[in-house]
Amino acid sequence: GLIDGHGKKWWDFVEGYKEGQARSKWQLKFDELNKDIVLPDDPKQMKRGFLRPPFIQTMFCKNVLIDGISIRNSPFWTVNPEFCENVKIHAVTINNPHSPNTDGINPESCKNVHISDCHISVGDDCITIKSGKDAPGRKMAVPAENYVITNCTMLSGHGGVVIGSEMSGDVRKIAISNCVFDGTDRGIRIKTARGRGGIVEEIRVSNIIMKNIRDQAIVLDMQYAKTTPEAVSERTPRFRNIHFSNITGQVNQAAYLNGIEEMPIENITFSDINMDAKTGFKIGYANKIEFHNVQVNTELGSVISTSNVNQLTIDNVKTYTPKANAAVIDLKNTSDAFIYNAFPSVGTSTYLNLSGDKTKGISLGNNNFKNATKGVSKTEEVVEKVNVISGDKG
C-alpha cells in the first residue's frame, strides 16, 4: 500500500522560518507546559523544526519488520528505527521531493539490521547510519553494528549511503553491496568532526554502480565541521579498516579523504575501481592507504593526489586521459610509498611526481614507463632518492 505523510505543511514552516519571527500558539503552549526542558545542542531545531515528526519510528524494539510498502511526502526522516535489534526493511519504496531533512532510512544505534530491495528518492540522504552525537552519544555508548545494505536503488538524495556525522557511540561491521546510485549528490559518505569521538570501522562497500553523481563517489571526511587540532582524547573520532571494491561510475570527483592531524584516517583500500570523473582521488592526513587495479579517466588533474600520507601502496593505477600539466600520481609530503605494476597509457607526460620536504621512502617496482615522457619527477625539496626495487623500464 501507499502511505502519504503530507509533509508540505512542515516543509513550508521550516523553509520559511526567519530568525526572530513570532512563535506560533503551539510553540507558546509547548513552552508553557515544558518550562524546564533542556534544548538540544542546536536550539534552532526547536524553533524551525518544532517537534517535526519522523514518519515511522520504532524505539527500543526487537524483531522489527517493514516490508512491501510505499511512502511519500514524509515530514522529516522517513523510516527511523532507534536502539532496536533485529530490524528488517525489505522492498520499501520511498519518494520524497526536494524537501528539508526527509532522509529515507535512518537506523540509529541499532544491532542486526538488514535493508534490502528498496528504492529510495528523497530530499536528503537515502540511507543514513547514526549512533549518537558528542558527549551524550558517548555516554549512551550504543553502537550501530551488524548492518547489511544490499540490492537497493538510490536516485535523488544528498548521499546514497551515509555514516555520521553523529557516530559517537561507534559504527562497525557494515556491509554495503549490489546497489545502484543514480543522481545522488554523493555515493558513499562517511563524516565526522572533532568533538564527536567514536570509531567507524570494519566497513565493506562492494559491487556498486554510480551514475550522474554530482560531487564525490566516495567521501571520508573527519573535518565535517572546521575545527583546530587538539590533543587526542575521548572527543577524537577515528576512521579505520574501510574497504571499497568493484565500483564503477560517472562522477564529479572519484574520492575525497580528509583526516585530522592528530588522528589520520587508517587502513583504507580501493580495489577494482573504474570511473570517469572530472577529478580523481584527493587524500590528506591518512595512513595505510592501498590502491589495486584502479582506473580513473579524469578531465582535470591527477588520478591520485596525496598530502601528509604515510604507508601508501599503489598497484596498477592508470588513466586513459593523461594530462600534459599533471602527473598521473602526485605525492606531496608522503612517506613509505610503494608504486608498482604501472603501465601508463600513450600520451602520458609524467606518471609520478614527488614534492614536499617530508616526502621520503618512495619505492618503485615492475613498472613500464615507456609511454611516459617522464616516469618520475621530483622537486628540489625531495632530497631522498627513489628506490627502484626491480623490473622498471622506460
Contact 305, 281 (CB under 8 A): yes
Contact 381, 359 (CB under 8 A): yes
Measuring CA to CA, how many Å separate 154 from each of 11, 48, 168, 339, 363?
22, 28, 26, 35, 41
- pLDDT tens per residue across span 191-242: 999 999 999 999 999 999 999 999 999 999 999 988 899 999 999 999 999 9
State the CATH class of domain 1-11+42-252: mainly beta
User: In terms of C-beta density within 10 A (0-12 exposed, 13-18 middle, 19 or more buried), how is residue 247 classed?
Assistant: buried
- pLDDT tens per residue across span 340-392: 999 999 999 999 999 999 999 999 999 999 999 999 999 999 999 999 887 77
Q: Is there a catalytic annotation at residue 124? A: yes
Residue 337 has phi, psi (to 5 degrees) of -115, 140
Q: Is 348 helix (H, G, I), strand (E, B) or coil?
A: strand
Closest CA to 67 of 7, 111, 102, 114: 114
* Contacts of residue 186, Cβ cutoff 8 Å, sequence gap at least 6: 158, 159, 160, 162, 213, 214, 215, 216, 217, 219
Q: Show me where the domains of the chain are located.
A: 1-11+42-252, 264-393
In the block, cell 510498502 appears at 69
pLDDT of residue 134: 93
Please identify which of the residues 42, 114, 119, 124 carries the catalytic annotation. Answer: 124
Please identify which of the residues 103, 125, 158, 185 carries the catalytic annotation. Answer: 158
Q: Is 365 helix (H, G, I), strand (E, B) or coil?
A: strand
| Under-50 pLDDT residues of the chain | none
Element spanning 126, H or E: none
